[in-house]
Every structure is written in structure tokens, then in C-alpha cells.
Amino acid sequence: MKRTDVHHPIFDEVADLARTLGHAHRLVLLRHIADGELAVEQLTQLSGIALANTSQHLQHLKRAGLVQTRRDGKRVLYRLADGPIENVFAALRSLANHRREQIREFINDSISQPDRLENISREELVRRMRNDEVVLLDVRPQNEFATGHLPGAINIPADELEQRLAELPREKVVVAYCRGVQCVLSADALAILRARGWASRRFEGGLPEWAAAGLGVEGTNYESG
């Protein structure tokens, strides 16, 4: 009788879009791409996904209009397309968190609680830095660290952290940071640190928030970036 909106194309379009986001690998890739233009091989390194597989997922993302490409010499650089992509991701993540909180009301999962126990505000960070209560841990790659970092920060890229934990003092609170809210490196670092029993927090805003607040940055040429 009532042949309704099943046939309306918007549902198919939205579904396609959702399906494109429906694979962890593609989400991981998108996340990295959101941090800036990256070549395919860099993405394989960052994500640990096999080369051809990475390429396929990237093309899936491209077909869906979520990323765009340009060629630079022999490399193909992927960047985020225009449009409210981050909103979708944020909404999905927030919904996932909401569900997770409901399910795990009892369990104290340090990763899933993006709250006061995990994050440290810029204000609190500045105060505790003055009191020398914290150690800053920059978990970005070396080159990014060299360009600019928070004063006094130690640089241990996230993927080396597990091996180099010994370099971190036990007697202070470790505050990890990376490229900013959309970057998960510091969250990963926190998971590792907490698993190993370090007192640790995450400065979610990362370098961008710090610099935007007009606080000093150490490094070669952060201004030019």
C-alpha cells in the first residue's frame, strides 16, 4: 500500500557513507589523514596496514568523497576532503562512548573515560609545570618535535614508547600530548603508561592549543609552520 521512502536515494547515499566509515582500518586512515596530507606509504607505516590493503581502503574513501588526492613526484598524497567529515566522526565516537559508558558502568576503563581523570586542562598544566610536578611527554615523530614543542618536553614517539619507558621518571606525573584533539597518539601513549602503572595524564589540546594560547614553544621554526 504505502510504498514509502525506502526508495528515496538519500537513504542509499547516507548508507553508503556510513558503510565507508564501517571499517576500523578506514577510520584509522582517516584519522591520520586528518592530521595532514600523507602519502600512501607513510600511512601504511602509521597504521600498520599492508600496502595494497591501505591503497584499497584509501580508494574506497576517495570514491566516497571523504578524501582527495594529488600527485607529488612518484608519491600520491591523500588529504581530507571538504565538508563536515569531522562532525560525523565526532558524532559516531560520542555515540560509541555513550553506549560504552552505559555498558561498563562498573568497570573503570581508563581509555574510555575521557574525563577529569584522564585529561588535564591547559590551566592545570601550566600551574603544575610551574611547581615542577609534571614531565611533558611529546609522542609525535622526531621531525615534528624538532620543529616545535612544549618547553622542556621529552620526545618519545608513540610507537617507541613501550621500549623507552625507562627514560621517564616515576616520581612525577607524565603528561602526554601530540598534535591536538583529533590526534590519538597521546591517547595511545596514555594507555601504555597507565598499563605500566605510571601516573599520567593527557593534554588533549596538544601543541596547537598551547601555541594558540600564546605560550612559549621551543624548536627550530615553529612560527613558519
Q: Shortest approach of a second copy to residue 126 CB, angstroms? A: 25
Q: Shortest approach of a second copy to residue 202 CB, angstroms? A: 14
3-state helix, strand, coil in the chain (%, to 5): 45, 15, 40
Query: In the annotation, is 183 catalytic?
Result: no
Q: Which of 225, 182, 189, 174 is nearest to 204 (CA)?
A: 182
Binding characters for DNA, 5-44, by CB under 7 A (x = yes): --------------x--xx-x-------------xxxx--
CA distance 193 to 47: 20
Among 71, 106, 107, 223, the residue binding DNA under the rule CB under 7 A is: 71
CB nearer to a second copy: give 9 or 214. Answer: 9
- Transcribe 117-130 into DSSP letters: TTB--HHHHHHHHH
* 83, interface contact from a second copy, DNA, none, CB < 5-8 Å by kind: a second copy
CA distance 194 to 44: 27
Q: Which of 168, 136, 141 is nearest to 153 (CA)?
A: 136
Among 17, 64, 76, 129, the residue binding DNA under the rule CB under 7 A is: 76
Q: Shortest approach of a second copy to residue 61 CB, angstroms? A: 12
